[in-house]
Amino acid sequence: MKRVLLLSAMVSCTVLFATSLFGQKPVNKLVTDNTCNGLQENVHRQGAAAEGLKAGADRQGQRAVELQTKADRQGAAAEGLKAGADRQGTDVTGENCFAIIAGKNTTVDGSVLFGHNEDDSGEQMLNVYIVPAGTQPATTEGGLKIPASIANGYAVGDKNNPGSEGKQRTNGKFIWCEFPGMSVADAAMNQWGVAIASDGCNSREDREDVTDGGILYDLRIDVAKYARSAREAVKIIGEAVQEYGYKGSGRTYSVADPEEGWIVAVVKGRHWVAQRVPDDKVMILPNYYTITNVNLEDTENFMGSPDIIDYAISRGWYDPHSRQEFNFRLAYADPATIERASNRTRHKAVIEYVTGGSDNYDPYSVQPMFTPAKKLSVADMISMLSIHNEKEEPQKIIGAPEQPARGHLDPSHIPGVCTNVTIVSTIFQLRNWMPKETGCVMWMCPGRPCANVYVPWTLGMTEVPEGWARYDDWQEAEQHHFSDATDKEKNYPEHPYWFFTKRWNKLNSNYIYWIKDVQDKKWQMQYDIFKSYTELQKSLPKKLKKSKNRKQAEQMLNQFTADTYKKILSQKSIKP
C-alpha cells in the first residue's frame, strides 16, 4: 500500500510539473503539496475499499439484473443492424456514463479538464481514427444530417455572417473514438481543441416530433467535424435538434475547448437547453439532467429553446403560480433517473472528492456546478473516474464458499463511477497557453480505469498505432458504422482492444485478490508515462514553429503513443 501511495503522489506531481511548462506560470509549491496529499488520501480510500470489498451481494445482484436487461436490448439492437440501416441508430444507453468538466481556474495548469467514462453493455470494440482536415464537404448527401447553417457555409446561429465567404465548409481534423453500431458512444477531439462525449439522461417527453426520422448519431459527428469552439458546438447541437428533432428520449452532451466547457441537455423532439461551466467551477454529471435554473437572457452562460419554459407549462410539468423558480431538471427529467440509486451514489462520491465535504445529498436540489476544495490535475481526474463508492460497507454473500482471510465476500468488481461496462475512459486536457497540436491531449484508457493506464493521444498526431483502426480509410468506417457492427471479435480477432477485454475478464474473476497488485503496477506504469511524456513535450513547441521540423514533431508524437501501447500489449498476464 505504501508503494501505491508513493506512486500516486509521484504521478500527481509529475502532471503538475509537466503542465507548468511551455509558457505557463510555475505552479505554487503549496498547491503542489496539497494536490499530492489529496491524491494520496484518495488512493488510500481506494486501497481500503479494495481490502474491505465495499458493495454487497444484494446490490450486485440488482445490478446484474439491470445489466442483463440492457444486454438483451443491446443484443436486439445489434441483430437489427444491417447495410443501409438508418444512420442515426437507436439510443439504447440511457442509464450509462459519467462526465466531469473542470473550468480553467480550477486546475493546476490552467487547462480545461474534461473527463468521461463511456459505459455500454454487449460486445463493444474501440477503434480510433485520425481524420485529416478538408476531406469531406459539408453536405446532406448520403444521409448526413447537418444544420442548414453549416450546409450553407454560414457561422452557426448567424446566417447573416458567412463563415467562409460563400465557400462550402469542409471538415476539420479530428481524433475519433468509434464504437461500431453505437449511436451515442463515440467521443472526439478536433483541430480547434473542441471535445465531445455524452451521457444518457432520459426525459419524460412522450411525444415524437421529428423530421426525416430525427437526429441522434450525427450530432456528435457534426460537432467533431465543424465546431470551431465549444460555444459553436452548443449552437450546432441546438440548431440540429430544432431542425430535425431529437430521436432519443434525452441526453446531455458535454463539450469543451481550451477556454470553456458547456453541457447541452436535449429532450426527445425539439427542446434543448445548455449551460456554461464557470471558469471557477467543476461540473459533475451522472445519468440525469443536472441543469436546474435557466436564464436564457444571460446569453454568456445559457442557450436553449425559446419556449423551454412555456412548453413545460403546457404539459403540466411546471406551474408558474407555484412561486417556485423554473427548474429544468424537475420539469423535464424522467423521475426514475433522479431516484435511481446508482446515479446518487456515484454522483455523491465525486462531489465529495471535489468539494472535500460530505453534506447531505439531495438529487432534487443539488446544483450542477461545484467549487473545488483544491486545484485539480489529470491525476485527480483519473482518481475520480476510478471511484468505486468506497464509503459503502462491505456485505457478506450468504452461501458463498470460504475464501482465505477474506470471509464470504463477493470477489468481483463492484461498480461505482468505474463499472463493469466501462468500455473507454477519456480525459481531455485542453490548454490555451500552448500550441493546440501539443496543448490539446486526449488521455485514453481502453476499458476500466481502475485497472488500466491512460495513454496520450495528442492533437498533433497524424497516424494511429497499428491495429487500432479496423479500416484504413475513416470514410469507409463512417459508411459501415452501423452495417459492420456484429461479431466484432470474430471478424477482427487481432484487434488490440480484445487484449483489454480479456485482461479484464480474467481480473474480474478474482478481482479482490488481484486488484491491489494490478493497481500497484498500473500506477507505476502511469507514472512512467507521465514522466516520459513530459520530457517529450519539452522539445515540441520549437519544432512546431518551423514548418521543416513539423513532420519530425508529428512523428515523435505518433511514435510515443505507438511505443506506449506496444509496451502495454507486451504484458502477458495480469496475475501478480
187 closest CA partner among 560, 444, 420, 483: 444
Mean pLDDT confidence for 311-327: 96
Mean pLDDT confidence for 216-220: 96
SS (H, E, C) 289-309: CCCCCCCCCCCCCEEECCCHH
Mean pLDDT confidence for 392-415: 42
pLDDT at 163 over 60: no
Mean pLDDT confidence for 161-185: 82
Strands of 271-277's sheet in order across: 127-131, 174-178, 187-190, 195-200, 246-256, 261-269, 271-277, 302-304
What is the pLDDT at residue 540? 82
Q: Which has more confidence, 75 or 228?
A: 228
Give the Cα separation of 250 and 287 in Å (integer). Answer: 10
pLDDT at 408 over 60: no
Q: Quick one: 220 exposed, middle or buried, by C-beta within 10 A (0-12, 13-18, 19+)?
A: buried
- pLDDT tens digits, residue range 547-574? 678 888 999 999 999 999 999 999 865 5
What is the pLDDT at residue 137? 75
What would the grid cell of residue 540 be? 515540441
Would you place residue 166 in the very low, low, confident or very high pLDDT band (cuts 50, 70, 90)? low
Mean pLDDT confidence for 153-160: 66
Q: Which residues pair with 153 in a beta bridge?
A: none
Give the Cα separation of 200 and 527 in Å (integer). Answer: 33
- pLDDT tens digits, residue range 380-391? 999 999 998 655
CA distances (Å), origin 183, targets 7, 343, 549: 38, 22, 39
Among all chains, which residue has been given the C-alpha cell 460486445?
Answer: 123
First to last CA, the chain: 15
| SS3 label, residue 118 | strand
Give the Cα separation of 295 and 276 in Å (integer). Answer: 12
Amino acid at 392: E
DSSP conformational letter for 427: E
Give the Cα separation of 17 and 109 in Å (integer). Answer: 9
pLDDT at 404 over 70: no
Cβ count near 159 (within 10 Å): 13
Would you place residue 508 in the very low, low, confident or very high pLDDT band (cuts 50, 70, 90)? confident
Q: Over the chain, what is the mean pLDDT?
A: 81
| SS3 label, residue 425 | strand
Q: Which residues pair with 119 in a beta bridge?
A: 422
Task: Tell me if 296 sits within 8 A of 304, measured CB to CB.
Answer: yes
What is the pLDDT at residue 509? 85
Q: Which has more confidence, 26 or 132?
A: 132
Mean pLDDT confidence for 95-111: 94
pLDDT at 473 over 80: yes
Task: Tell me if 257 sits within 8 A of 242, measured CB to CB.
Answer: no
Q: Is 353 left (phi over 0), alpha (psi -120 to 50) or beta?
A: alpha
Mean pLDDT confidence for 99-103: 98
What would the grid cell of residue 326 be? 423554473
Kindly compute the dihedral angle of the four CA atoms of residues 373, 377, 382, 388, in this order, to the nearest 10 degrees: -10
- pLDDT tens digits, residue range 59-76? 333 433 343 434 343 333
Q: Which has more confidence, 453 or 81?
A: 453
Task: Tell me if 354 sits within 8 A of 282, measured CB to CB.
Answer: yes
Task: Tell me if 222 sits within 8 A of 186, measured CB to CB.
Answer: no
Give the Cα separation of 83 and 232 in Å (integer). Answer: 33
DSSP conformational letter for 421: T
| SS3 label, residue 442 | strand
What would the grid cell of residue 392 be? 459503502
Task: Spell out the domains of the chain, with CATH numbers in brackets.
Answer: 2-136+171-287+373-569 (3.60.60.10)
Q: Which has more confidence, 572 or 27?
A: 572
Mean pLDDT lowest among 21-25, 119-123, 228-232, 356-360: 21-25
What is the pLDDT at residue 87? 61
- pLDDT tens digits, residue range 423-471? 999 999 999 999 999 999 999 999 999 999 999 999 999 999 999 999 9
Among all chains, which residue has been given the C-alpha cell 470474430?
Answer: 490
Kindly compute the dihedral angle of the four CA atoms of residues 47, 51, 53, 54, in this order, to the nearest 10 degrees: -50
CA distances (Å), origin 35, targets 16, 149, 527, 538, 549: 9, 45, 15, 23, 36
Give the Cα separation of 93 and 202 in Å (integer). Answer: 10
Give the Cα separation of 359 and 355 in Å (integer). Answer: 10
